[in-house]
Chains A and B, each alone.
Chain A
């Protein structure tokens, strides 16, 4: 059963069939036929962003906070090239995104036509897959396949490039059920023999630790639930990457906090000293492992991942399990229960008392100062005043991002949206808008630094247009804080171009955008100012002037293993050797 319609109509029909309710986009010449169809319907809501990069980041925020793919519609040429950063970001962080781009008519491709770019060529390395559709009859089938590829296996961004004549022409519509999706079917069930080996290891391990990542969240809510059950039943400590925060509740006593370069002391030392490491949906990123030849030297390692190319990529593992986290954890739990729910209680008890000693170091302690707001204090207060809200946090990239990961607690998956792999400054503002569009009644806060925030601040206009009451919590140190920190540690305190001069007056800027501006510089006013932000029914730009030269600790210097953490200002001189300097 196929019906005839124009390519443009087909796009809207295919999105409807895929259950899409929101599209982030920006019109232009090569997508006008599709925009004409968008105009003539009410089921799909189109959010007009102010820059195509913002469209993709907003779609990422939408996708991460809902578990559904984010959809973007942009024009050819600059529309497509502006989307490239967002696509790369989504690829690195495994976020399902479907980008539809207009293209010049097929007969003009290759002629350097107005707003022509080789979109599939440019985006080939930054998408999971992409398509140039030259035949209207294949358009809807391709869009359905695109959704399938974006959301199956390890999720990621895909792009469908649609020439304008293909949008105008008539063709037959292929319904979702009939679209070809068989050629991409990643394995979801793990190998039972290796799962058994892991269960046996869990039963006998003396110093086990769960090292979890974004894969748990990508696998869906069931995976987070199973992880909680497994951790709570076995009593094994758990740490997580930046991407995995929220899969396991931060309020639990089994939770060690984030690990890695700016991870918690107890988490990193547990990773270093463990005898069984269970990697669940993480990828041994270099920000996690530190120096590879000294990474967790005494452990056997299990690695559960849906992407076979993640296995043995950087760290050799003993128990590779390729499969979907949800499926594998279900098998692990079932097998472990069937074999009598055994763990090495006595050894675990010792392990926990060791961890308690590390915890007692209290690595996140800071001295609040009376005169200026310390960024850690600002986040600790934000946490205290908002943790009971229905809260979603986005961030930009830099020191504030690490502090947010350290000082904010996440109880549920999908509540924390940050650019982990690519480290995209400018991610947070559009992502917060995307999250708020998906959750209109929730409290959405973008924890930002002033430099990152300025990179995509135009999206405040989007927030105002759609009455998205996003709260922009800017920790303003008038510095590129993380760059400045590295320059202090690595480059002889020569602060080359790492300060923000000629900053705007953020309160006036807020007023210019039509939102509320709040300036806070006195620790004594902080709580009231945060409450004022929370009480305001609309977007807020909160300019929080903080200590300018604060460094982010704890920190594993580049080129060092986990047990060589720096805890504070005292021990930082000459901490990074020459071989570490190249790894920054």
Chain B
């Protein structure tokens, strides 16, 4: 159609993201956001997601550089490729945000979550819970005659799987940290 004989939507100068941006496919991305640890910074990030109707699947935040007062926010979010691009651009606009990394597209990364899971029960169920915990490399961090608290670390899927198995064995409470993630290699 074009006089230039260039296919519409051509991205020949683009170094990455060669997929069509405007599709309906939902993708889950893990973003690492490095921010100044100042009052209100988390509210700015969360407010951006709620104000613009983006999803937060998981969010963790802690100061990672105590001298430079930098915090690292790890957000797992779901959206179309266009929405994911918007989220990154909008995060980049926030004044105390220094870096935004999309760990899902910037090469391989490692993602881990920690969960504390409380089981109540006696007898065979209690033994079975211990046996499964061993298989999942979960540790007992608290014990009474009627209960355990397991600590498990792993991908969100692994934590889900463990919690699902514990449910019929007397699971009463779960606390999860949300995902922390880093890129692999250097």
Chain A residues near B (Cβ < 8 Å): 120-121, 124-125, 128-129, 132, 149, 183-184, 193-194, 197, 201, 204-206, 275, 298-300, 307-309, 311-313, 316, 318, 344, 347
Contacts and interface: CB of A to CB of B under 8 A. Distances in A.
A125 B51 contact: yes
Contacts of B39: 132
B53 to A, nearest CB: 13
A204 B4 contact: yes
B160 to A, nearest CB: 33
Q: Which 7 A-B pairs have the closest CB atoms?
A: A309-B89, A129-B95, A206-B3, A308-B89, A309-B90, A298-B1, A125-B51
Interface in B13-30: 13, 20-22
Given A121-B43, A124-B44, A307 B4 contact: no
A312 B43 CA distance: 26
Given A121-B43, A124-B44, A125-B47, 8 more contacts: A124-B43, A125-B51, A129-B94, A129-B95, A300-B4, A300-B6, A313-B86, A318-B9
Contact of B89 (A121, A194, A311, A318): A311
Nearest to B51: A125
Interface of B: 1-4, 6, 8-11, 13, 20-22, 36, 39-40, 43-44, 47, 51, 82, 85-86, 89-90, 92-96, 98
Contacts of A308: 89, 92-93
Contacts of A184: 95
Contact of A124 (B9, B22, B40): B40
B2 A183 contact: no
A201 B6 CA distance: 10
Given A197-B13, A309-B92, A183 B21 contact: no
A193 B15 CA distance: 12
A125 B53 CA distance: 13
B95 A318 contact: no
A300 B13 CA distance: 14
B75 to A, nearest CB: 16
A397 to B, nearest CB: 23
A309 B93 contact: yes
Interface of B is mostly: loop
A396 B37 CA distance: 41
B143 to A, nearest CB: 41
A275 B22 CA distance: 21
B3 A193 contact: no
A129 B51 CA distance: 15
Nearest to B81: A312
15 contacts: A121-B43, A124-B43, A124-B44, A125-B51, A132-B40, A149-B95, A197-B13, A275-B1, A300-B2, A300-B6, A307-B93, A308-B92, A312-B82, A313-B86, A316-B20
Nearest to A207: B3
A554 to B, nearest CB: 26
B125 to A, nearest CB: 47
A184 B90 CA distance: 14
Contacts of B47: 124-125
A151 to B, nearest CB: 13
B118 to A, nearest CB: 34
